Structures are given as structure tokens and as C-alpha cells.
Amino acid sequence: MVGTDENLSVRDYDTTLDSADPGWRERFHIPPFVGAPDAPGVAYREVAYFAGNSLGLQPVATRAAVDTELDRWAEMGVEGQLTGPRPWKDYHEALRDPAARLVGALPHETVIMNSLTVNLHVLMATFYRPEGRRTKIVMEDIVFPSDGYAMASQARWHGLDPAEHVIRLRPREGEDVLRTDDVIARIRELGDEVAVVVFSAVNYLTGEWMDMPAITAAGHEVGAIVGWDLAHAAGNVPLRLHDWGVDWAAWCSYKYLNSGPGALAGAFIHERHARDTSLPRLAGWWGTRTDTRFRMDSDFDPPATADAWQMSNPPIFSMTPVQVSLELFDEVGMDTLRARSLRLTAYLRTLLEEAIARLPVGAMEIVTPVEDDRHGCQLSVRFRTDIHVLADTLRDLDGVIADTRNPDIIRFAPVPLYSTYLDCWRAADALRRRLA
């Protein structure tokens, strides 16, 4: 099953690694690998899945949990709203505590609702209120496009030209990732012109984990609001949103949170804002107090919690996968998970570096910072060859699933819940063979 030919392998795969540090793979459906007959990887029955940063794999427990709710609907109709172990009208409350533990928040600071880009807008509706000199949004230039569109449209929504009011920070010439000091210096330079600082906590392209406490503090120093997009951070790196004083954050649940394509997203609002029920917001009936909601009063009466940002009653069949997923994160614990993540990613990096050493200079290069506090599980790798051809070959012939990001990056995310050391070995070995 594993290469032992000295000429072929990066190094022989050490089968003790996975038995000594097994992860929680059996809790997930791992897609099968149906390779071409003459493919060297054909002996593998499962793919080596590195795309959990794009779409996490399905937990085995998800289907039965969703079926339970479907059954309840079939058997109870509207009564399911009020009765049973988890009545639908209160369903979101079951997700509050585990979501808070995941991002380092107090329970009343988090809510699961909507989708990520929608939450960015919903939170910006409250927290971006340009006034006088204070009009600017500061963000990264290498950004997931949705966030770029969202922030530009927020400026326009307020009648401001994004070219002038959205400041996008680029890494230094010849560098791939932003330096914390440069970000902080720019925020200080802009001073009281900054309304909102909003960055991706872990960059989707480079895998860089920003220094969240330092950048949050720098934003506050100039009187700005600081929000974080946790799309690639939630379930990937340890977070302490409350203690860091973050004003707001939003994340999706289909990447590291394994809750299915287009899954419901999360939002965090620090209690110092949540307590202020007079804040402007886009309101709906699910944001009013639960004890008076069904009186159907005309007065909007929000609780002093993140729940107040909810607009609609939540889609239960989409809440269930998030609930199942968060239960597993609770069971494992972020600290345990992160420890395995660091071991797994360090192993992949070592193997890739060994492969790089045997390849022509520049053929392959790791872009993601090496320091533990500067990355999550993802390694972004730059190639000189056509990344689309390479990724297709890895997928079809080697069963290694990793996604491309133009112009020259392939992202490999060994996910600590279900990825293995063998997966990492397969990726490095396949790359070395395909690039030789």
C-alpha cells in the first residue's frame, strides 16, 4: 500500500504515526477513491482529502439527526415548534453555548443564523456608521472576493466611493503575507478616519493567521470598530474573541465546521455592544424577546444578546448539521484538536520541504508562514507549472483532493478531525512524482 521504492518515495511512510495519533476519522464519511487502473495510487480505497477548508466532510451522525427532525415534522406538523426535546422555536438556543466555546465567547455573544456574507452585511448595518472624518473601512487586499464586494457595497450604500473609503492593505513588494506591524502602522496613520477594521482571521489564499489581539487593539486605539471574518478560522485555530475585545465576527459552518454545503453561519457580537439594545440594526421578529415574541406586538423589544440580530425563524434542517458538528467539537475540545493540527501540518510541511529540496529551485514553494501562531492547518503551495493540470492529475491519478486558487496556488488543508499522516505522505509523494 505504501511506496517503499527509494527512488519513488519522499521517505518511507511510517505506519506507526497514524496508530499513535489517530484523530476522529471514523466519525466521518471519507469519499472513496476510484483511481485509473494503472495509477500508482490505485491501492488506496479512500481519497486523501485536503479540501476541508472549502467543504468539510460529512459527519456520520448528521443524517440520522436530520432524519429525526424530518420525522418530527411528518408526525407532528406545527406541534414540533412547541413540543419535544428540542422544540423548533427554541432550537437555535441549543447551538449558542457550543458556538460560544468554539470562538471563545460568552454564550449570549453568539448566534447561528443566515450565511456568512449576509452576516457581514447584517453586522456592518449596525457597526459601520460613517460620520464626519470617520468613514474608512480597512481590510486586506488579498481577500476572499465576497468580502471585497460586501465592503465596497457597504461604502456605496452610504453614498461613499469605495476607491477612496475602502483601504485595502497589500503585503510588501516580493512578500506573500501581511506583516502585523505594517497593518498596525497603517491603522495608526489613518487614525480617526478609520470607521471599521475588518480582516480575515486566517487568509483563504495564503493560510496566514493574523495577529488578532494586536490588530484589534490597534483598531481600538484609533477609536474604530474591529470585526473579523472567521471563515477559515472557526474550528481551525483557537479563538478568544471576548477576551481580545473583538467587536464583532462572522463565520461560515461548511468549511472546518463540517455542516454541509451552504450551511448556516455564525455571528459574534461583544456583550458591550449586545447590551446596548438601542443600537441600530436590521430587525425581524426573531430578534425580539422570546417571552413576548408570540404576543405579536408592534413594538420591537430586543434582548441584550446576540439573538437580537436574528431576523427570521431558522431553517431547522440546516440547524441540525451545525448542532451535530458543534457537539463533536465540544467532545474533542479545541485545544486537543489544535495540538493534533500542529503535529499534522508540521509533518506535511516537513515532507513537502523534503520534496522541494529534490526539485528544481522555485518549482514548488510554501507560502504559509511557518510560526505556530501564524497559521492554521492549511498550507498554501505555489507552483510554476499549471496548477489546474497538476491538481486534476493529483485528484484523478493519486486520489489527492486539493483545490487551486489562481494564479499559482494549490491549498492543502490536513484537517485534524479526519485527515491522517498517510494522507500527508500521499500528497507529498504524489507531488514529487508528478513534478519530477
Shortest gap between Cβ of 184 and ligand PLP (angstroms)?
21
The number of angstroms, rounded, from the C-alpha of 150 to the middle of its chain's C-alpha atoms is 17
Shortest gap between Cβ of 426 and ligand PLP (angstroms)?
26
> If phi over 0 gives left and psi between -120 and 50 gives alpha, with beta otherwise, what is residue 317?
alpha
Contact residues toward ligand PLP (CB under 6 A) are 115-117, 144, 146-147, 200, 204, 229, 231-232, 252
Shortest gap between Cβ of 90 and ligand PLP (angstroms)?
25
Between 213 and 262, name the residue whose CB sits nearer to ligand PLP. 262
Between 117 and 206, name the residue whose CB sits nearer to ligand PLP. 117
Shortest gap between Cβ of 294 and ligand PLP (angstroms)?
31
Between 205 and 422, name the residue whose CB sits nearer to ligand PLP. 205
Shortest gap between Cβ of 205 and ligand PLP (angstroms)?
9
Between 53 and 420, name the residue whose CB sits nearer to ligand PLP. 53
Shortest gap between Cβ of 150 and ligand PLP (angstroms)?
8
Alpha carbon distance 238, 329 (integer Å) = 12
Please give the full DSSP string across 163-191, using - where no structure is assigned. Answer: HHHEEEE-PPTT-SS--HHHHHHHHHHHG
Shortest gap between Cβ of 199 and ligand PLP (angstroms)?
10
Between 150 and 352, name the residue whose CB sits nearer to ligand PLP. 150
Alpha carbon distance 45, 315 (integer Å) = 36
Cβ neighbors of 161 (< 8 A, separation 6 or more) are: 155
Shortest gap between Cβ of 230 and ligand PLP (angstroms)?
8
Cβ neighbors of 204 (< 8 A, separation 6 or more) are: 53, 143, 144, 231, 232, 405
Give the helix/strand (H/E) hosting 381.
strand 379-383
SS (H, E, C) 189-207: HHHHHEEEEEEECECCCCC
Alpha carbon distance 390, 383 (integer Å) = 9
Between 33 and 228, name the residue whose CB sits nearer to ligand PLP. 228
Dihedral Cα 169, 173, 175, 181, nearest 10 deg? -50
- Name the β-bridge partners of 202: 209
Between 81 and 115, name the residue whose CB sits nearer to ligand PLP. 115
All cell numbers assigned to 321: 448539521
Between 66 and 265, name the residue whose CB sits nearer to ligand PLP. 265
The number of angstroms, rounded, from the C-alpha of 405 to the middle of its chain's C-alpha atoms is 16
